[in-house]
Chain A
Amino acid sequence: MLVMKNINKIFQTEDIQTHALRDFNLTVNEGDFLSVTGPSGSGKTTFLNIAGLLETYTNGDFLLDGKDVGSLNDNGRSKMRNEKIGFVFQSFNLIPDLNLFDNVDVPLRYRGFNAKERKERIEANLERVGLASRMKHLPSQLSGGQQQRVAIARALATDPRFLLADEPTGNLDSEMAKGVMSLLEEINQQGTTIIMVTHDAELAQRATRTIQVKDGRVSELEIVSAQAIA
């Protein structure tokens, strides 16, 4: 479970103070598929960065899986990211010099799994996204949709409790976007909690919950029934 209470994030430069999040309150339950929408600059990405422990917050309380995130140092946050969170980025963020196998291997190495276990996990997850036959290919040899599938396989390889997706279909055409969304839905149905930031209202509708972020606050909360999606 992810609980944020009165989270504030202030970016401070010499002259300007920007409130990216203001008294941000949110609870994400296990198994949720939460979509986060909102206009540009509303604070969606800041929320995702804080939720994914990529960035610290100025004040407030944040519990992730019952752990007070505020008490963690940089190493603790890295460890928690690796163990509990998987990331899917808009521009895939695959390492261009590494083939698919090695790309999926990256977080597993940080986790300290042995070679045998890593291999099993890599193969299983590439199989899961339908790219097991191309594990020796470089990212540049794949389509955008395939690259995003590899990114999803990489995110899932460590068995995270939360999958955080930042505009996961933002760089894909509609057909590929549908495929990726279907994959995310499938993953959610298998028990992984997903938080997805998106501009696309249609995609947002496919989540089980949708929130809108405006001026750094959760301005609207709509519960979508699971049946409605089905």
Chain B
Amino acid sequence: MLEIGLILRALMRNKIGALLIALQIALTLAIMVNAIFMIQDRNQQMLRESGLDETNTFYLTNTIFGNDYNNKVHLQTDLHAIRNTPGIIDAIQINAIPLSGGGWSMALQHEPGDDKDTIGSAVYMVDDHALNALGVELIAGENFTAQDIQWREEGTSKWPPKTIITKAFAEQLYPDNWQLAIGKTFYISQTQPIQIIGVMKALQAPWNGWTGVERSMLVPFQMESKNSRYFIRTEPGRRDEMMPIIEKLLAESDKERIIRRVTTLEETRKRSYRQQNATNKILTTVIITLTLITGFGIVGLAIFSINRRTKQIGTRRALGATQWQVMRYFMVENFMISAIGVIIGVIGAIAINMWLVSTFSLSPISFDLILFGVISLFFVGQLAVLYPARRAAKISPATATRTV
């Protein structure tokens, strides 16, 4: 017999301590569940695929300081040299790096005009080697040809007439059937027509926190600039080996420039999600700390309660309670306190989540997560009370006849 009625009636006459622990459990549950929810949300963000061949790509910055320099020739020479280096699959000049935090964005609209609805997208200026160099997959349409590539002069606002967009972008343009986007002409910079000639499976924008991070477009532009980035893809497993080779190749081919920031995509991803990682660590620490505090609170209350009831426990033993029955009494008592805390906590967790959903546009918390929180708190409660309960069970029945 679990003595539930007796325990409940006894608890009702000593509410304060039990209620405080129940509230602590409730608060822990509410915070724990929402913190895990936030961690999961961040983890999902971090696990999104960039669309790139991340393990085999790197990039560098080429800064020219020499005068009388033909940037166009120089770019073609560099790319030719890199592409022909054994171990290299392909290389391009690019204006921005996915997940790096800095880049370009433009908007497309169905009709020309300054009062039309637009959909924003990251813009990558690349040549016809982009798909191969980035390692992105073309799932519909076609790639740029060498003839499509235009030189973009600094300060110009003119855009090339063709683009390749991501599937996520196409779905935004044509929610019912993204394939309808192929061949369609949209307008960039309000009035300039641009035709979608291809759709890529995925290519993330430079900004991981942007809601449109999956929307990107390639435009066939090469930039005549003294500061340009080269994006290079190596044969599988040869990235680390090729990075110094390419750096040396470029540096030695021309002394009037600086090759810097030779960086892998993996490093960029890591840096990009540094804040999310740090936040997750903080949230994890909060969860562990709160759970420990609650656990210690339960231990403290149980020990206090046992010390206060030493004679009572001795009397119960004298009346025939076995050690297990005494232990079970405290475990059931703790379970009931936890149950009260958990009920309040579940309500609190849902309330906090509703606020998070409305304030930060997060998705609603899942039932599984609440269930996990409930089971965890019950487990922590039972674990925490185990030692005090064992101590109580060891109280001698002879205590009943002693003056305690």
Best-surrounded residue of A79, A109, A158 (most CB of chain B within 10 A): A109
Q: How far is the CB of A64 from chain B (nearest CB, A)?
A: 14
A219 close to B (CB within 8 Å): no
Chain A hits for B13, CB < 8 A: 97, 138
Of A29-37, A48-56, A186-194, A208-216, the one touching chain B: A48-56
Contact B318 A54, beta carbon cutoff 8 Å: yes
Complex Cα spacing A96 to B400, Å: 14
Chain A hits for B322, CB < 8 A: 74-75, 78-79, 110
Complex Cα spacing A92 to B6, Å: 19
Q: How far is the CB of A65 from chain B (nearest CB, A)?
A: 15
A-B contact count (CB 8 A): 89
Complex Cα spacing A201 to B318, Å: 27
Contact B1 A112, beta carbon cutoff 8 Å: yes
Complex Cα spacing A10 to B37, Å: 61
One digit per residue, 1 when the CB lies within 8 angstroms of any chain B CB and 0 when it does not, for chain A 77-94 equals 011011100010111010
Chain A hits for B319, CB < 8 A: 81-82, 87, 106-107, 110, 154
B83 close to A (CB within 8 Å): no
A28 close to B (CB within 8 Å): no
Chain B hits for A105, CB < 8 A: 6
B325 close to A (CB within 8 Å): yes
Contact B401 A166, beta carbon cutoff 8 Å: yes
How many residues of chain B have a CB within 8 Å of chain A? 27
B320 close to A (CB within 8 Å): yes
Q: Which residue of B lies closest to A95 (CB)?
A: B312
Contact of B320 among A83, A89, A95, A138 (CB under 8 A): A83
Contact A49 B9, beta carbon cutoff 8 Å: no
Chain B hits for A102, CB < 8 A: 5-6, 9
Contact A89 B9, beta carbon cutoff 8 Å: no
Query: Interface majority SS on B: helix, strand, loop or mixed?
Result: helix
Chain B hits for A54, CB < 8 A: 317-318, 396-398, 400-401
Chain B hits for A5, CB < 8 A: none
A81-B6 contact in complex given A55-B398, A93-B315, A97-B13, C-beta closer than 8 Å: no
Q: How far is the CB of A48 from chain B (nearest CB, A)?
A: 7
Q: Which residue of B lies closest to A82 (CB)?
A: B320
Q: How far is the CB of B379 from chain A (nearest CB, A)?
A: 27
Q: Which residue of B lies closest to A166 (CB)?
A: B401
Contact of B321 among A53, A97, A110 (CB under 8 A): A110
Q: How far is the CB of B370 from chain A (nearest CB, A)?
A: 33
A87-B321 contact in complex given A97-B14, A102-B6, A109-B3, C-beta closer than 8 Å: no
Complex Cα spacing A48 to B320, Å: 16
User: Which chain B residues numbered 313 to 344 have a C-beta less than 8 Å away from chain A?
Assistant: 315-325
Q: Which residue of B lies closest to A97 (CB)?
A: B10
Q: Which residue of B lies closest to A74 (CB)?
A: B323
Contact B317 A106, beta carbon cutoff 8 Å: no
Chain B hits for A91, CB < 8 A: 403
Q: How far is the CB of A157 from chain B (nearest CB, A)?
A: 10
Q: A55-B397, A98-B9 are in contact. List 8 more A-B contacts (CB 8 A).
A: A45-B401, A49-B398, A74-B322, A75-B322, A81-B320, A82-B319, A91-B403, A109-B6
Residues of A within 8 A of B (CB): 45, 48-49, 52-55, 74-75, 78-79, 81-83, 87, 89-91, 93, 95-99, 102, 105-107, 109-112, 138, 154, 158, 166
The 7 tightest CB contacts between A and B, nearest first, are A82-B320, A97-B10, A107-B319, A110-B320, A54-B398, A93-B315, A54-B397
Subset of 11 A-B contacts with CB under 8 Å: A52-B318, A54-B398, A78-B321, A87-B400, A93-B400, A96-B312, A97-B13, A97-B14, A105-B6, A107-B319, A111-B320
Residues of B within 8 A of A (CB): 1, 3, 5-6, 9-10, 13-14, 311-312, 315-325, 396-398, 400-401, 403
